[in-house]
Amino acid sequence: MQMQATEIEQEIRNFLTETFLFGRSEALNDDTPLLGNVIDSQGVIELIAFVQERFTIAVDDEEVTIDNFASVKSTVAFIEGKLRSK
Amino acid sequence: MIDRTVPQHQLPSISTNISAAMRVSDVVKPWADRLPDHKAAVDPNGSWTYRELAGIISHTADWLRGSGVRAGDRVMIVGENCREFAAVLLAVASLDAWPVPVNARLSPREVDAVRDHCEARRIVYTTSVSVHATEHANRHGAMPEDVGDLGRTSLGPLNENVKTEPIDADIGSRVAALIYTSGTTGLPKGVMLTHSNLLFSAGGAAKIRSLNSEDRLYGILPLSHIVGLSIVFLGALLSGATIYLEPRFDPVAARVALERHRITVMLGVPSMFSLFLQYAKMRKLQSFEFPALRIISCSGAPLPPAIKSSVESLFGLPLHHGYGITECSPNVAQVRIDQPPRSDNSVGPMFPGVEARLVGPDRQPVPVGAVGELWVRGPNIMKGYYRAPEETAAAIDAEGWFNTRDLARFEDENLFIVGRTKDLIIRFGFNVYPAEVEAVLNAHPAVVQSAVVGRTAEGDEEILAFVQPSPSSHLTEADLAEYAAKRLAPYKRPSHFLFVSTMPMTPSGKIAKADLAKIADDIRQKV
C-alpha cells in the first residue's frame, strides 16, 4: 500500500530529529535547509541508507542534490516521486 | 598500486619564479597571458577562465577601494568555498589590505569575536552558495551589491573607527592573510601570514606534486583554512591548474565530482577519507574508478594505518601524508610522491627549505631517534600573532625557531608525529581547543564546571564534554546541545555530554583530564 505524504514526512522528521538534533523537533522547520546544515558530512550516508531501507527505493548518488534534499518538504516530494515510479 | 604519474614533458607548470616582490594576487596574471581561456576556478554555479579571473580581481579591487578599503585595513570575507570568496580574497590582497577569511559555518559569537579582534574595515559576505553567510550578512545589516562579473555579494557597513596597519617596505613581508584559530585561552588568535609565507608553501607543495596546467584539483578544504588556501588554491593557480571549489564535503557529492570533473589531485583530512570508506561500505563497492586521479593526500590530523591501507585499496593509489600547522603556512613535512609508497604513518621528510630540531624539556636536543618537542624554522614561519606580542614571543624564539608543541621523532629523514604538548583536539581537520568549548559550556547558568576531552573515532577525533551541573538543575543533554549549537561552529560541538557529580582533580587542583580521557575510552561502547 502506498504511503501517504504525511506518513513519509513524519518518518523523515523523526529520523532527522533523533539522528542529528538530539531530539529537538522544534529545531526543524519546514524550510530548514538540510544538506550542509542539519545534515553533516557523515549524515548524508546515514540519510541515504535510511531512505533506501525504510522506503525500499534506490537513491543514486546523482540524485543526492541540494534541490532534492533542500528541506523536509522537498525530501518528501523526492521520496513520493520515487515511490510513484516504482 | 597503479602508476598514474603524468608525463611532465611539455606540460606548462609553475609559471614564474616566486620573487620577494610578489603578492599572492600576482599568481593569476602570468596564466591570464599564457592560457587566457583555460579554466581557473569552477564552483557549483559556473566557472571563470584565467583571463576572466584576472579581470574580476582587478574590478573587485576597484570596488573595494571605492568602498573605503585602504592599504593596511583588515577585510573579513565570510563565506564557504566559491569563486567569489576566492576572487575577493585576492582582490583584498592586491590592495595591500589584509584578507581575513572566515568560515561562514562559525557561530555568530565566533564571527563577531574575529570581527572585533581584527577591527575589520569592511566585511564581504559571499552568499551565493552559503545560507550561513546570508544569515551573518542579515544580522550585520549588510547590503547586497552586484559587482560586475564577480556577481552578487553582500557588503557590511564601513567601520570608520579603525586604523590602518603600517605597510612593510618589502612586499613579500606584508600580511597576505590573517587566519584565526581558537587559542588555548578560548579567545581568537589571528595568525599573520605574509605573501612570502604563502607563496613559499604553495610553490613548494606544487613542485612536490608536479602540478601543471592539466591538473584539476578538488577544492574541498575551506579557503579559510591554511591548507585550502595555500596548498590547494594558491598551489593550483601558481601552476595554471583548474580548481573545483566545493562549499562543503560529503562523500556522495565528492564521488560524483571526482568522476564528473576527472579530478587529478585531491587533498583532504583523514576524516574525509574515512567517510569515503563508509560510503563504499554502504554502496558495497570494493574499489573506485577514477582513472584521471593521480594523487590523494591528507594532512591536518593523525592518519591511522588501518584507514590508510583501506583507503589505498579503495582508490588504488597511495595516500600521501603530510604535516603542517597554520603558523607554518602550513607545510612542515610531506611524503614525496616520487618515493616508494609508505605503509607506516610517517608524515614524510621535512618540506624543502624548512629546518627542524627536536628538544627535551630542558630545551636541549634529544638523542637521534628519540622523541622530542618539534621546533621548526624557515620561510614558512608566520609573521606573528596579531596584537599578541607576548604569545608571539612565546611561540617564536630569538633565532626564528617556532615551537609546534607537537611531539615527534625521526626515523632516518622521515618524521613521525607521536603526540602533543598542547591541549588540542583535531576534529575533521580543524583545531579545537577544549578551553574554548569549556568556556562556552561554563557560561551556562546550570553548569558548575566542564571539561572537554577528545577521543579517537574512525580516523577522526570526537569531542566529549564532562559536565558538572548545579545540584538543583534539571539540565539535559538536549539542553546543552542546543546551547552549544547557538555558540559554537559544528566542528567544535561535543558529540556527547556526560554528567558527573564531581570532577576528578589533580593534586595541584586542576581537573584531571587524563583520567577523564581514560573514562571516555572505557565507556566507548556505551555512548
DSSP string, B330-394: SEEEE--TTSPPPSS---BSBPTT-EEEEE-TTSSBPPTT--EEEEEESTTS-SEETT-HHHHHH
CA distance B73 to chain A (A): 32
Task: Specify the pairing of strand B331-334 against strand B319-324.
Answer: antiparallel
d(CA B410, CA B401): 18
Positions of chain B with pLDDT under 50: 1-10, 15-16
To the nearest 10°, report the CA torsion of B142, B80, A33, B48: 100
Q: What is the pLDDT along chain A (86 residues), one digit of tens a residue?
A: 567 888 999 999 999 988 888 777 777 887 788 887 788 777 889 899 999 999 999 999 999 988 898 889 999 999 999 999 87
What's at B468, amino acid-wise?
Q
CA distance B478 to chain A (A): 5
DSSP H or E stretch at residue B93: helix B83-94
- The reply to whether A42 touches chain B by the CB within 8 Å rule is yes
pLDDT, residue B184, reads 56
pLDDT, residue B13, reads 57
- The reply to whether B527 touches chain A by the CB within 8 Å rule is no
Residues of A in contact with B485 (CB under 8 A): 27
Beta strand residue intervals within B131-183, DSSP E: 143-146, 152-155, 175-182
- The reply to whether A67 touches chain B by the CB within 8 Å rule is no
pLDDT, residue B7, reads 40
C-alpha cell at B338: 616520487
pLDDT, residue B306, reads 84
Q: Give, as one character, the DSSP assignment of residue B444.
A: S
Q: What percent of chain B has pLDDT over 90?
A: 72
CA closest to B476 among chain A residues: A22
Residue B296's CB is within 10 A of a number of other CB atoms, namely 25
Residues of A in contact with B493 (CB under 8 A): none
C-alpha cell at B343: 605503509
d(CA B449, CA B471): 12
What's at B96, amino acid-wise?
D
Cβ-contact B77, B85 below 8 angstroms: yes
- A24, A33, A41: residue with CB nearest B275: A41
Cβ of B481 within 8 Å of Cβ of A22? The answer is yes
- The reply to whether A26 touches chain B by the CB within 8 Å rule is no
pLDDT, residue B435, reads 82
Cβ of A35 within 8 Å of Cβ of B428? The answer is no
pLDDT, residue B508, reads 63
CA closest to B255 among chain A residues: A61
pLDDT, residue B3, reads 40
Distances (CA, A) of B220 to A45, B70, B281, B302, B500: 18, 31, 22, 19, 39
Cell numbers 613559499: residue: B200
Chain centroid to Cα B11, Å, comes to 29
Omega before B101 within 30 of 0, i.e. cis:
no
End-to-end CA distance of chain B: 38
Residues 6+ apart with CB under 8 A from B498: B464, B465, B466, B467, B520, B523, B527
Task: State the count of interchain CB pairs (< 8 A) between A and B.
Answer: 50
What's the order of all strands across the beta sheet hosting B414-420? B355-359, B372-377, B402-411, B414-420
pLDDT, residue B344, reads 86
Distances (CA, A) of B328 to B193, B196, B377, B379: 9, 12, 9, 9
